[in-house]
Chain A
Amino acid sequence: MRKGPDVFFRTLVTPIAFALLALGFDFFLRGHNDPGGGFIAGLVVAAAALLVRMARRRGLLRIRSDVLMPVGLLVALATGVAPMLLGFPFLTSAHGEVALGALGTLKWSSALAFDLGVFLVVVGATVTIIDLLAEEGGLAELRERVTGAGTTPEAPEPSEVRPEPSEGGEG
């Protein structure tokens, strides 16, 4: 067993991860007019997930991260398709303001939902990659899980397949 992560690192990770999550949230919201947006926010949140994984040896997310990719794609797609159902071209966005009394006005834009889809795809993809690289034998485990390789132990491993002789050596 390797030595565990440093105690300072382990302690500091929680506030740093929270700071990163807050930063990601800020990036996500301000992306409509300023630098930021779903993509950047997704990377920042994925960085928080990476830190937590390094410190605690387990993932930040309690759900399967690879499901976030198709879900995010579908959210983004739905944002584009919704105006088509109302008779506008694909991806047409709407925006407006809501008066919140003493709190001022809240500006909203339907493009935010598209950004949410992008955010989910980026977080899902990045965290999945990190998780697979972090777990020793994570890739082999995933392969077993999805192909059900355990049921056919006699089948040879794909990686042990004899390499083909190159084309040039033939004719």
Chain B
Amino acid sequence: MNVLVLPVLLPLLGGSVLLVVRRSAARRGVATAFATATLLASLAVALPTFRGQVLVAQMASWAAPFGISLVADGLSGMLLLGSNVLALLTVVFAGSSLQHAPVRGGSALLNRARDAFGAQALLQFLFMGVNMSFLTGDLFNLFVAFEVMLVASYGLLLLGGELPQLREGLRYVVINLVASSLFVAAAGMVYGLIGSLNMADIAERVAAHGADVRITLLAALLALVFATKAAVFPLGFWLPNSYPVPPAAVSAYFAAVLTKVGVYALIRTFTLMFAGQGALVAVLLALAGVTMLAGALGSVARRRWRHAMAFANVASIGYLVAGAFAGTRAGMAAALYYLLNSVIVIFVLFLVAALAERIAGRSYRRHGHLGAYPWLGAGFFVGALALTGLPPTSGFVGKFALLQALLAAGGPLHAGVAVAAVVTGLLLLYAVMRIWREFFWGEADAVHRVAIPRGMSAVTAAAVVLLLALALFAGPIYRLSERVAGQLDGNAAYRAAVLVPDAPPREGAH
């Protein structure tokens, strides 16, 4: 099962090669080639998992609870495929945008410096960390994957060294260092109490251990770490100001994928490792409701493109967590479908925001751009419908299923979160309608046409097409989400695949 390691290895190789490539055009080509190869590798991993298989690779031939396992079940497959499609689009978009002057800062020299100082290499290392997070079956290795991802993201956030970057970058680094210290401490305590770091083995041992308040505390500590990464209220205060700071492609990928890695880790923690923590799940569900409202209110309040979109991202995190922790299989299926929708819709909206910033600056209060840029308006319209959850978009399918699952689960907490979801939808609708009214609609007072680089508009169009495809193929994709949700319920296949009884301890190689 060596194919499992390729989505981690290819970006590492790509990043290393990109560090020695001196010409900017060659860097673009190499980065695109590696992102394409990684996408093909993740397709090879994802397709068998969609048929219900669980792929396992034991690193360095050490058998399961002792070595590091890479595992791909349906959840890993879905996220791996989705994130690598966006990775390819990000690389192409970044390649195009780094040749031109940034929106802020004026001169093309700044973006040339970003390119020369390894923006593309850092992106590859970021993809490596993200792919490793989705594939690893080991708690400590998950920490390593998070660190790879974070160190690359620090670099990308700060590259260029402008004042807002340094100001927000400092906060981002400090928050993430605190969360990482808690994570590594929690991993140490899990090993101390349970005696294993392999996720499947932890699941077995926790089940055998029985109820223990220390296990609940450990699960709470891990939830705190992952909720910080996922920007769940009240731990998400760092996100809306820091994600709009880096260059457009980077901030789109950050917003679309990095927070979802936190959600993925939360799902793994509470379905696999620490299943049956009812009280903590209820707390997370309640926080999810608050997260939605906080994100939607922030989105209404902000006047800048990417700041408003970053808050919309927080709201969509709320929906995801609400579905994943509704406690039912239907809720999980809805959350998984909504996850794909949210990843792509946030990406689309950030790219549209990036193009709009290029046209008219960072605030969206510039009237009458629809006439001059009808296709940009169309892209925003599709993204806005999918974000708010209006038919006929994929957002509608996801939110409808989510509300249905929440109401079917019963109980006042679920009902309350469902009400919050509806109110959030209306607030988001207000937020995007206002952007529509203030940027696209109205009388054109001195709209000057700006040439948008072809690579950037092509990538944005491709992302919109992906979003439409998600709605068009909602049937098969939703059935896939239901199957994956069934797999996550109990995780029997995952555990059986990782922990093969009586496996030879170390085969071959000697």
Binding site for B on A (CB under 8 A): 67, 69-71, 73-74, 77, 80-81, 83-84, 87-95, 143, 146-149, 152, 155-156, 158-159, 161, 163-164, 167, 170-171
Contacts and interface: CB of A to CB of B under 8 A. Distances in A.
B210 interface: no
B12 A158 contact: no
A70 B301 contact: no
B501 interface: no
Contacts of A163: 162-164
B9 interface: yes
A85 to B, nearest CB: 10
A83 B58 CA distance: 13
Nearest to B101: A155
A149 B303 CA distance: 35
A89 B16 contact: no
B19 A159 contact: no
B20 A67 contact: yes
Given A70-B19, A146-B116, A167-B302, A81 B105 contact: no
A170 B303 contact: yes
A164 B16 contact: no
Interface of B: 1-2, 5, 9, 12-13, 15-17, 19-20, 57-61, 104-110, 112-113, 116-117, 160-164, 241, 301-304, 307, 363, 508-510
A170 B303 CA distance: 8
B164 A73 contact: no
A157 to B, nearest CB: 8
Contacts of A171: 301-303
A147 B16 contact: no
Contact of B61 (A71, A89, A143, A167): A89
A170 B508 contact: no
Contacts of B163: 161, 163-164
Closest 5 CB pairs of A and B: A146-B116, A70-B19, A73-B16, A91-B60, A163-B163
B12 A92 contact: no
Given A94-B509, A155-B107, A156-B106, A167 B307 contact: yes
A146 B241 contact: no
B13 A83 contact: no
Contacts of B5: 84, 89-90
B60 A158 contact: no
B16 A70 contact: yes
Given A67-B20, A90-B5, A167 B110 contact: no
B106 to A, nearest CB: 6
A158 B109 contact: yes
B345 to A, nearest CB: 23
B509 A158 contact: no
A66 to B, nearest CB: 8
A88 B162 CA distance: 47
Interface centre among B16, B61, B164, B304 (most CB of A within 10 A): B16
A88 B104 CA distance: 50
26 contacts: A67-B20, A74-B17, A77-B12, A77-B13, A80-B9, A83-B509, A87-B508, A88-B61, A88-B509, A89-B59, A92-B60, A93-B60, A94-B509, A143-B113, A146-B113, A147-B116, A155-B107, A156-B107, A158-B107, A158-B110, A158-B162, A163-B164, A164-B163, A167-B302, A170-B304, A170-B363
Contacts of B303: 170-171
A94 B60 CA distance: 10
Given A77-B12, A90-B2, A94-B509, A161 B106 contact: yes
Contact of B2 (A69, A71, A89, A156): A89
Contact of B113 (A67, A80, A147, A156): A147
A146 B5 CA distance: 34
A35 to B, nearest CB: 20
A128 B219 CA distance: 41
Nearest to B58: A89
A108 to B, nearest CB: 13
A77 B9 contact: yes
A89 B507 CA distance: 10
Contacts of A91: 59-60
Contacts of B363: 170
